[in-house]
Amino acid sequence: MQHRWDIFCTVIDNFGDIGVCWRLARQLTQDHHQLVRLWVDDLTSFAYIASNVNPKVQQQVILSVEICHWQRVFIEVEPAEVVIEAFACELPDVYVAAMLQRKKQPVWINLEYLSAEPWVVQCHGLPSPHPHLPLIKTFFFPGFVQGTGGLLREKNLMVQREAFTTTAEHAFLQRKRLLEYKSGEIRISMFCYDTAPVIKFIQVLSKSSVPIMLIVPQGSVAERITTLFHQAKSQTERLLRHEQLTVQIVPFMEQVDYDRLLWSCDFNFVRGEDSFLRAQWAGSPFVWNIYPQTEGAHWKKLDAFLDLYTVGMSREMGDAVREMWAFWNGRYEINSTVWLNFLSCREFLTQHNNYWIKRLLKQNDLASSLVQFAENQL
């Protein structure tokens, strides 16, 4: 049954939150034929990953999703039947007041961050009554195991990945003006926070025994690499070369194209939540740069994921993965030995990732879980 949905999103780290919300909004409309209105407080950042978004327009429809600028002074609107408060962003007071006026209380969902921590299963689906008003919202936790809300995954995602043949890849590389593969080359995508040890890793890659192609989106990390190479300010599609390493700096891509970039790379360095999950669906070896939190809370989150992800790995491969992830997140200083150990596991990691994907596919995807939950409440 078709229902109206409102998704509220505040942009915190530029792309992670809106990346998740934009994928969810599109999937709800395309796979489940729901009517979705997406409220976003930063349309400029949004436009980096959705080029059709006009930051100067307060209300627009793109890919059947109504996109509205969430301004500080919130306009009075009729609330939807299903309301998603993404990542505890707090709904506007005027909107909450309007929810009270509906004959039937909206299904109010607090969509939480993705985590592999064991407590998530216990907290998923718990009701949270409003402290002053007769409204109840429900905590909805994405997750990697049964008993959680599942993961974002479009119905045709795996079919599309399988259809990404050599011919399709060649057409993609040409369209995005990415360099073609060289024989024996290792291709790496890198999307990370400023806290990652990028410069040290660049030095390690430059000394590689085989050619390395590194693809980096424009931004502060690209600027640091450019400075290291003693070049002028980075430009779109700028090529930088040093010894065995070639760096191509590219503009931000639409999410569909970013998926294809991940499919075309041998290794993917990703960050936050959205690209982290898409790297898993891509199947190539990946390294996660987790969002740093106060008092080191992010280490528990990272270790919890690794505890799940490394099940079935040999001890040597598990150690290589944990060391690479620890070094990339600043627990220790990165060195060539750590990278070479990780690199040597490439074939086995790809096999393991296929097993990991099959395990995740046994779950309901997040959008389907949300639709089913809303149907049960309505």
For residue 143, the enclosing domain spans 4-152+364-377
CA 233 – CA 218 distance, rounded (Å): 11
Could you list the active site residues? 17, 273
Closest CA to 347 of 262, 263, 276, 266: 266
Same domain, 127 and 163: no
Single-letter code of the amino acid located at 187: R
CA 130 – CA 135 distance, rounded (Å): 5
* Distance, CA of 40 to chain centre: 17
CA 237 – CA 95 distance, rounded (Å): 44
Secondary structure (3-state) at 47: helix
Give the β-pairing of 35-40 and 65-69: parallel
Span 131-135, mean pLDDT? 89
Estimate the crossing angle of helix 255-264 against helix 16-30, to 10 degrees: 100
Secondary structure (3-state) at 42: coil
Same domain, 88 and 178: no
**pTM (2 d.p.):** 0.94
Same domain, 64 and 173: no
CATH code for the domain in which residue 329 is found: 3.40.50.2000
Same domain, 129 and 194: no
What domain count does the chain have?
A: 2
Same domain, 185 and 146: no
Same domain, 290 and 272: yes
Percentages (nearest 5) of helix, strand, coil residues in the chain: 40, 20, 40
Same domain, 146 and 161: no
Single-letter code of the amino acid located at 73: V
H/E element, 61: strand 59-62
Which tokens sit at 209? 């025994």
Same domain, 115 and 15: yes
- Residue 59: CA count within 13 A, CB half-sphere: 4
Same domain, 209 and 315: yes
Asked if the model's pLDDT at residue 232 lies above 70, the reply is no
pLDDT band at 233 (very low <50, low <70, confident <90, very high): low
Asked if residue 218 lies in contact with residue 250, where contact means CB atoms within 8 angstroms, the answer is yes
DSSP secondary structure letter of residue 229: T
Asked if residue 125 lies in contact with residue 109, where contact means CB atoms within 8 angstroms, the answer is no
Sign of CA dihedral 89, 270, 44, 77: negative
CA 235 – CA 222 distance, rounded (Å): 9
Same domain, 28 and 40: yes
Same domain, 78 and 148: yes
Residue 14 has a pLDDT of: 61
pLDDT band at 25 (very low <50, low <70, confident <90, very high): very high
Residue 13 has a pLDDT of: 66
Same domain, 55 and 139: yes
Q: How confident is the prediction for the chain on average, in pLDDT?
A: 93
Asked if the model's pLDDT at residue 231 lies above 70, the reply is no
Give the whole-number percent of the chain exceeding pLDDT 70.
98
Residue 116 has a pLDDT of: 96
Span 121-143, mean pLDDT? 93
* pLDDT tens string 165-184: 999 999 999 999 999 888 89
